[in-house]
Amino acid sequence: MLVSIIAIVILFNRVLRWVPFRDRRDQFSLRVPIVGRLIRLATAAQYLRTLALIIASRQTLPSAADVLAISRYRTEADKVVEAIRAGETLSNALRHLSVVPSVARQLISAGETSARLVSMSERAAILVENWLGNDRKRFAALLDPTLMMIVGGMVLVIVLSVLLPIFDLQTVTTSK
């Protein structure tokens, strides 16, 4: 029994690492309405935060794509790097990355024109992180009452499964 459980865990772990399965799982996750938005915002916040750190430390841009877990976004981030190498500005190149909101691109563009790219890219990362935090709070506020209703329904089923046989026994004993 223990060996079969270990084998199932190892098999499940290997399936999760298999690239076609992971890509399908990511595509499905991104299509789920609330979860997809949270994943996109988390990805954007992670990329923008890494981008701000890379710009501040004067490193090369390709290392920013390494933080992206979803292969679709990693491919788009590689297009951003190619566009920058071709001579585009960072704000124009970020148009290739669909996960970055337009407000963040505008902040980075303002940072480029005002020679304050580091502070504006950090501000863009903070903005997207705040959006993500607000959406998580909203989702939790919607999820809490729903979970309470589900738990209440489960308690109702358990209580009725205990009380109904007692009521049936009571009717049998009083009818005799």
At 55-111, the pLDDT tens digits run 888 887 776 777 888 888 888 888 988 898 898 898 999 999 999 999 999 999 999
pLDDT at position 120, please?
93
pTM: 0.76
Q: Please tell me the distance from the alpha carbon of residue 167 to that of residue 154, in angstroms, as a whole number.
A: 20
Residue of higher predicted confidence among 13 and 123:
123
Q: Would 113 be classed as within a structural domain?
A: yes
In terms of Cα–Cα distance, which of 92, 96, 85, 88 is closest to 106?
Answer: 92
Q: Please tell me the distance from the alpha carbon of residue 158 to that of residue 114, in angstroms, as a whole number.
A: 65
Q: How many domains does the chain have?
A: 2
Asked whether residue 68 falls in the same domain as residue 100, the answer is: yes
Asked whether residue 25 falls in the same domain as residue 110, the answer is: no
pLDDT at position 127, please?
95
Residue 21 belongs to domain spanning: 1-31
pLDDT at position 58, please?
84
pLDDT at position 173, please?
78
Query: How far from 128 is each of 36, 82, 139, 166, CA to CA, in Å?
Result: 15, 24, 16, 57
CA dihedral 67, 10, 39, 91 (to 10 degrees): 20
pLDDT at position 4, please?
84
What is the tens place of the pLDDT at every residue in 121-174?
999 999 999 999 999 999 999 899 999 999 999 999 999 999 888 888 777 777
Q: Which amino acid is it at 144?
A: D
Asked whether residue 135 falls in the same domain as residue 76, the answer is: yes
> For position 56, which CATH number holds?
1.20.81.30
Cβ(125)–Cβ(49) below 8 Å: yes
Average pLDDT over residues 34-45: 92
Token pair of 137 as six digits: 């709070």
pLDDT at position 176, please?
61
Q: Would 4 be classed as within a structural domain?
A: yes
